[in-house]
Amino acid sequence: MQSINIHLTGRSVLTGLLLLAVVLGVLALVWLLVTPAWAIGIGAGLVLLIRGLVWLFKPSE
């Protein structure tokens, strides 16, 4: 069995939080300028994408 080691540093956590803030800002602009349905759809797609990536890298049980 192979394992993947991920090292989190303060800088990587800060980068992740900054990326999250940018994504939320873009979704807020889409909500205001286009329609709430588009923002909800994009947000749901991002959640599914992230859950898929977590599932992909999760060790088998």
Alpha helices in the chain (DSSP H): 10-33, 36-57
Quote the crossing angle between the two packed helices 10-33 and 36-57, to the nearest 10°.
Answer: 150
pLDDT tens for the 61 residues of the chain, in order? 667 777 888 898 899 899 999 999 999 999 999 999 999 999 999 999 989 888 887 777 6
The amino acid occupying position 27 is: L
* pTM of the model as a whole: 0.70
Domain residue spans of the chain:
10-57
Within 10 Å of residue 47's Cβ, how many Cβ atoms? 10
What pLDDT is attached to residue 55? 86
**Phi/psi-derived region of residue 59, left when phi > 0, alpha when psi is between -120 and 50, beta in every other case:** beta
Q: Which two tokens stand for residue 43?
A: 């947000």
